[in-house]
């Protein structure tokens, strides 16, 4: 309840308020990470855990599930496919250097993940030393690592209360950051589509977080971990991969990579080189397609620890996973149906043809001029 109250008062007035709160919620976790790192590496057995962390297992790279998990982690940490990046970027100035922002964000994300590994495995080495068990037996996969193993390790340290408070405050701020981003994507998208929501933002945000609370209360029941694991597996893998794959294909081959790079040149003053063109048109689509295919081919019924989910739970999970991308073919068919044309191919051609490029660029120029005055949000202009 407290978390959602904080989220509500951070988002109810718009991006201006949440932008101020994020200065704290984004910086504080790094302070705690460095504190925990210093404490972790000074514990007995820490070197054992760090050595285990830095020892690569090349054989694991042969497993498709490893690549699938890595792709899912990238989606979670960087945010493509969730709508968060588009929602926040719509508040940028027209000439904002998104190229630099993308490189900086990706670099910081990788460094943060690498640093977090030292924080976690130094403590796992300490736990292994204390219990006399190998590290692979001490570590747990999934939420158990953060909510069970690490708190158990903190409880054995001198000053356990202080360390636990600092650690869970860090988790709180990380959760707030994630909630801010995901919620703002929903609020911005629906507000742009339905003006009544924009006019009644405070009420809509309150209803949204009440819905969050009701769903979250289900996770607090005896079977809460089973439900959360079901949501993690079926709510984040296939839907995200398919959505981002479709986005990559549409941008590269329907909207056109030339138009896309020209848009970037107009915004930044330079055209992305051949490396980025290859990534957008070849690398990303092929990689995503392989991930989608491997996730279907290597699909295994869901299991959490010793509990095997019933068949109906897996069937419902597959339906749930694909429902998130069902809007793509539905809206596509609706758009095709509404087009003018005598034949199906004529309608398809019109549906796949981008809006008049010159008119769009004139509209973009108008948008840039209005945004520079600071009086209007980017989504208020229909291109």
List the binding residues for Na(+).
77, 109, 174, 177-178
Helix (H) or strand (E) holding 84: helix 84-89
The token pair at 224 is 């809460």
Cα separation values, 155 from 35, 95, 116, 160, Å: 16, 50, 20, 5
The DSSP result for 101-153, as a single string, is HHHHHHHHHHHHHHHHHHHHHHHHHHHHHHHT--HHHH--STHHIIIIIHHHH
Question: Is residue 65 classed as helix, strand or coil in its secondary structure?
Answer: helix
CA–centroid distance for 53 within its chain: 25
Closest CA to 309 of 298, 301, 321: 301
Question: Is residue 13 classed as helix, strand or coil in its secondary structure?
Answer: coil
The DSSP call for residue 60 is G
The token pair at 28 is 């504080």
DSSP E strand stretches across the chain:
303-304, 307-308
Task: List residues forming the annotated binding site.
Answer: 77, 109, 174, 177-178
CA–centroid distance for 61 within its chain: 23
Cα separation values, 11 from 7, 175, 182, 354, Å: 6, 14, 11, 34
């Amino acid at each position: 309840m407290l978390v959602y109250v904080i989220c509500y008062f951070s988002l109810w007035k718009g991006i201006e308020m949440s932008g101020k709160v994020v200065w704290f919620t984004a910086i504080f976790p790094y302070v705690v990470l460095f504190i925990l790192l210093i404490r972790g590496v000074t514990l007995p057995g820490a070197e054992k855990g760090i050595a285990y962390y830095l020892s690569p297992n090349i054989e694991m790279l042969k497993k498709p599930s490893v690549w699938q998990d890595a792709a899912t982690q990238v989606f979670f940490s960087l945010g493509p496919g969730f709508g968060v990046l588009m929602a926040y970027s719509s508040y940028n100035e027209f000439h904002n250097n998104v190229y630099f922002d993308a490189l900086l964000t990706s670099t910081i994300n990788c460094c943060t993940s690498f640093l977090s590994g030292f924080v976690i495995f130094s403590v796992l080495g300490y736990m292994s030393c204390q219990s006399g068990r190998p590290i692979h037996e001490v570590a747990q996969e999934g939420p158990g690592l953060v909510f069970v193993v690490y708190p158990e390790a903190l409880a054995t340290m001198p000053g356990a209360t202080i360390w636990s408070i600092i650690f869970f405050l860090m988790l709180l701020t990380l959760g707030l950051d994630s909630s801010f981003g995901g919620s703002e994507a929903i609020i911005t998208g629906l507000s742009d589509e339905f003006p009544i929501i924009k006019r009644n933002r405070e009420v809509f945000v309150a209803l949204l977080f009440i819905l969050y609370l009701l769903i979250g209360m289900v996770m607090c029941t005896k079977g809460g971990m089973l439900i959360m694991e079901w949501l993690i597996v079926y709510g984040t893998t296939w839907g995200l991969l398919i959505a981002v794959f479709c986005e990559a294909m549409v941008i590269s081959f329907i909207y056109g990579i030339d138009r896309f790079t020209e848009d970037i040149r107009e915004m930044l003053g330079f055209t992305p080189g051949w490396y980025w063109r290859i990534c957008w048109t070849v690398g990303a689509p092929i990689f995503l397609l392989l991930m989608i295919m491997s996730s279907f081919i290597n699909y295994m019924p869901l299991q959490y620890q010793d509990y095997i989910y019933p068949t109906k739970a897996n069937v419902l999970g597959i339906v749930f996973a694909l429902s998130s991308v069902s809007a793509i073919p539905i809206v596509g068919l609706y758009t095709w149906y509404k087009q003018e044309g005598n034949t199906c191919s004529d309608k398809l051609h019109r549906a796949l043809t981008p809006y008049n490029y010159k008119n769009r660029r004139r509209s973009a120029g108008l948008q840039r001029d209005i945004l520079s005055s600071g009086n209007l949000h980017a989504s208020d202009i229909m291109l």
